[in-house]
Structure 1
Amino acid sequence: MQQILEKSHISSGELESILKAREEGKIDFLLVDVREDMEYNMGHIKGVDILKPTSTFQQWAQELFESTKDKYVIFTCRTGSRSGQVQQVFAQNGHNRTLNHIGGIMSYRGEVEK
């Protein structure tokens, strides 16, 4: 399970597995949705910890970066594009525990909430 978090990206199947493991207390990470409020309210992955819209990236990025330096952070969005950009910025600035959810919610087959 832990080896999944050692990569720079995660598939929907892997995300579903580690969300279940997190519920069981076997692994710890933060799942951040970077879509906009309207998209999030239409449906989001069950287990998302916080919503941080990319449109307000400049307002929240530094604080999230600083507060999660010692944590694994998985970014997700609709298709993996925006979350990939956010993950890349964090990685380029030295946060080596970030992952991009490849395919985003469009490829996710696990539980979704509205």
Structure 2
Amino acid sequence: MQEITVEDLKRMKDNSEDFQLIDVREDFEYEMSNLNGQLIPLGGILIETDKISHDKPVVIMCRSGKRSAMAVMQLEAQGYTNLYNLQGGILAWAERVDPNISVY
């Protein structure tokens, strides 16, 4: 499984790189704090594969990196090869990039 750090994600965002950010947390978590990714909760990830790009990097995130790792494994089993798990999730983002973001 390919992984990406929060610092790498910040650089990609700052440079306006062409990638897709998928957040696999639940609605209430996303409403509390998010990085403007597309919300597709983990339970529905395989149902909504039509929303996930095959032709550009896709970063998958959650709260700590565990659910996103599960999503990456499920999607890789469907043939995806362009996925990156965000190490440490939004908790790492709050710790190392933006301490003002709400975490729970």
TM-score bracket, normalised by the shorter chain, equals 0.7 to 0.9
Q: Which runs of 5+ in 1 are unaligned?
A: 1-6
Higher helix share: 1
Q: What's the RMSD between the two structures over aligned residues? A: 1.9
Q: Deviation of residue 112 (structure 1)? A: 4.5
Q: For residues 56-77 of structure 1, give each alpha carbon's deviation from its aligned partner in whole angstroms, at most 9, with x where no partner exists.
A: 234313x235xx1112111000
2:51 maps to 1:64:
yes
Q: For residues 69-113 of structure 1, give each alpha carbon's deviation from its aligned partner in whole angstroms, at most 9, with x where no partner exists.
A: 112111000000111111112223321111000100000023748
Q: Which runs of 5+ in 2 are unaligned?
A: none
Partner of 1:39: 29
Distance 1:8 1:58 in 2: 19
Partner of 2:54, secondary structure, is coil
TM-score (norm: length of structure 1):
0.76
- Describe how 1:13-92 pairs up with structure 2 within 5 A: 13-22=7-16, 27-45=17-35, 47-48=36-37, 50-61=38-49, 63-65=50-52, 68-92=53-77
TM-score (norm: length of structure 2):
0.82
| Percent sequence identity over aligned pairs | 29
Any runs of at least 4 consecutive aligned residues in structure 1 with deviations exceeding 6 A, and if so which? Answer: none
